Amino acid sequence: MLKKAIAAARKEKAKTVKARITPQHMQEFKEAFEAVDADGSGEIDETELRMAMAALGFQHTKDEIRRMIKSLDSDGSGTLGFEEFVSLMTNKSAKKEPKQEIKDAFSLLDKGSKGFISLEDLRLAAQELRETVSDEQLEAMLKLADVDGDGKVDGTDLYKTLKKTSAL
């Protein structure tokens, strides 16, 4: 059932990612692109990308930068055009997972943002997902998910559990 909750969160997420690229964002991407394209050639080359990443506090080796460009360079020019740059930006914002995904799933489950998941939360989630699960099963699930055994399932517990059960 946890897997279903994750899948539901994933769906929600996909919606927001798609909806996220508004004209406003395109404008932002354009500005970012122009800022990175230091020589104004309309293409971002390795040096420009490396400088931009460094400015953001990311240290990448030349090889890493090259690989990054290669993975995004759909027209094979060896540099990033605007379209390719946009896919870099959108990939990046979608790539907060899996931690972000778990956070989404967690807040989906944690009704009222208590900071932990209760039996009642699971009961509601089961209802929403139209799953028939007995209270005993839900309790067992909670117990299983409470990795540190303090009686509450918080985000860290959920993360560890999902990692363990390799729902991710």
28 binds Ca ion (CB under 5 A): no
Options 1, 53, 60, 73; binder of Ca ion; rule CB under 5 A: 73
* Binds Ca ion by CB under 5 A, chosen from 31, 34, 64, 148: 148
Given a contact cutoff of 8 angstroms between Cβ atoms, the answer to whether 65 and 54 are in contact is: no
Q: C-alpha angle with apex 90: 89 to 93, nearest 5 degrees?
A: 90
Choices 105-113, 132-140, 143-151, 160-168; region in contact with Ca ion by CB under 5 A: 143-151
Given 41, 47, 87, 165, the residue binding Ca ion (CB under 5 A): 41
- Nearer to Ca ion by Cβ, of 49 and 126: the residue is 49
Residue from 12, 31, 34, 39 touching Ca ion (CB under 5 A): that is: 39
78 DSSP assignment? S
Helices (H), the chain: 2-20, 23-36, 46-55, 62-72, 82-94, 99-109, 119-128, 135-145, 155-164
Which pair of structure tokens corresponds to residue 92?
């990046």
Contact residues toward Ca ion (CB under 5 A) are 37, 39, 41, 73, 75, 77, 81, 146, 148, 150, 152, 157
